[in-house]
Structures are given as C-alpha cells and as structure tokens.
Amino acid sequence: MVSFVVRRLVYSVLVVFGVVTIVFFIMNLLPDPSRMMMGQRADIATQTAIRHELGLDLPPWQRYLRFVEHAATGDFGRSFTSNRPVLSSIWDRFGATATLAISSMILASIVGIGIGIVSAIKSYSLFDNASMLFALVGISVPSFVMGLLAMLVFGSWLDWLPVSGYMWEGGELHIEYLVLPMVVLAFRPVSIIARVTRSSMLEVMTSDYVRTAKAKGAPWKAIVFRHALRNALNPVVTTVSAWLAGLLVGVYFIEYIFNWPGIGLQAVDAITRSDFPIIQGTVIFSALIFVVVNFVVDIIYAWLDPRVKLG
C-alpha cells in the first residue's frame, strides 16, 4: 500500500509540474503585461520599470525558473485590476465555489445512486425506462441551457426562487439563493451517476456471490446493500470524484449566470479584463485541486478494492 501511495504521489507532482510549465509558455505568447497594466499611453520608462519588476527583461530560461520557484510557494503575482495577491483573491472566492460544488455533489450522489439502484432492481420496467430517458436528457442538455431554463421557469414565470445573488448577505443566511444553482449544477451529475450505478449494479447482481446469497435465503435488503452495492461502488466513486473535482475548480457558466461569487465568475471577469495573473493562477489552482482529489480517490479506490494495488 505504501508503494502504491508513493507512486501516485510522484505522478501527481509530475502532473502539477507539467501544468505549471504549459501555463508559463502559453502566458509568454500573450501581449506584453506591462502594456496591459499601464495602458496604451504608458511612457517607455514606466513600461521598462514594470518589465524589470516582473522579470520580463530576463532570458526565457531564467523567467521559467523564477516562475516555477514562485509558483511552488504559492506566489502567482498580483492582479492587474485589484493589485491583490492572486492566491488570496482565488482563496477568497473558493469558499463560495466549494459550497456550491459540495452541496451539488451531495444532492447528485444521493439522487443518482438511488435512481441507479431502483433502476437496476426493476430493470426494463417503466421506472427504469423513464429514469434512463431522464438521464439521457440530463447528459445531453448543457448546464448553461438548463440554468437559463430554470431561471425562466422558476425565477420569472413562477417567481418561486431568486435567480441571482449569494446566500450570505449582510451576515445572514439566505438558503433560497443556493437552491437553483445547486439543482442545475447537480442535474448532469445525477444523470451520469444514475447510469453508472445502474450498469454496475446489473453486472454485480448476476455474479456468483449474489446468487449464493439468494440461494442461502439472505434478506433482499442485505443482498442489495451489503453484497451488491458495496461491490458496485468502485466506478461510482470514480465518477463522483471526477465530477467533484470539476465542480470544485469552478463551474464558469453556472456561476456567471447566477452571479455566484466563486472562482468561476472571477475567472470569467479576469478574461474579459485581460487580468493574466488571475487567469494563470486559476488554471494552476484548478489543476492542483484536480490532482489532490484524484489522489485521494485513488487511495479510497485501492482501499475499497485491494486488487487495484496489484496493478
């Protein structure tokens, strides 16, 4: 188990290093940051001073080493628009994104696994066909389209829920602001988790140990939850972790549509304002979240299924 963890840790570090390297070379293809910071009318002396401060007058290999060194300490520079440290700006917004992402994944996991179990038990029934049709719609319709439809129906026509804003206003909790973006964000993961759970459960339900449990007269609930579901969870855990990692790094369209103050909305604003430090910091931070979540999931996966360590 120790060697398995060490291997995964080494792979994770290499992935992060590769992302940092790619980000550096891409950012060096963009226009001169000193001109972006000072505008088109900045004098030559000011631009020269800024280029020196940012290290842009150094040879490329020195800039690369400097960038990697600073990135390793969490220093991604300062925002062009707010002049705040990039990591602080991202971290301040990450709480809003984490709240939305985790609540959405909890909802998606509960509903998706529940639908998948019932569909597998009642395979090819009316419920199974209806749920798989629902899953197909959820996978096919983009999240931003679902968000706009939800705003139109529940926010405008029915006037049940607010369509814009954050749930913490003036130190008070307004949970109604979380409902629409949470449900919209969970819609697609629910569909995928339901399909994966159903497929995995159908495969496990035909295995020898399940048939043996049935032959011994084990209770139906014990067969489903103790024998079948536990052994069917591996692909479900992988699916949930992949979606959680994706949601944690910011769902740009959903946060933008619902004006949710997470790192996704911040990244969209940075792109429109050409705030390069925020953009590169968000990319590296997102990669780090992906790597950490996948690393943890690999450990959980190996714990659930010891055969994984043999690979």
Q: Are 163 and 274 in contact, with CB atoms under 8 Å apart?
A: no
Query: Three-state DSSP class for 169?
Result: strand
The tens digit of pLDDT for each residue in 54-109 reads 666 677 778 888 888 888 888 888 887 787 898 899 898 888 888 888 899 899 98
DSSP string for 104-119: HHHHHHHHHHHHHHHH
Residue 206 pLDDT exceeds 80: no
Whole-prediction pTM: 0.79
- Report the mean per-residue pLDDT for the chain: 81
Identify the bridge partners of residue 262 per DSSP, sorted by sequence position: none
DSSP state of 262: S
| pLDDT given at position 297 | 75
So where are the chain's domains?
2-72, 89-305
Per CATH, the architecture of 89-305 is what?
A: Orthogonal Bundle (1.10)
What is the spatial distance between Cα 233 and Cα 1, in angstroms, rounded to a whole number?
Answer: 20
What is the spatial distance between Cα 47 and Cα 33, in angstroms, rounded to a whole number?
Answer: 9
Which residues 6+ apart lie within 8 Å of 232 measured at CB? 197, 200, 201, 203, 204
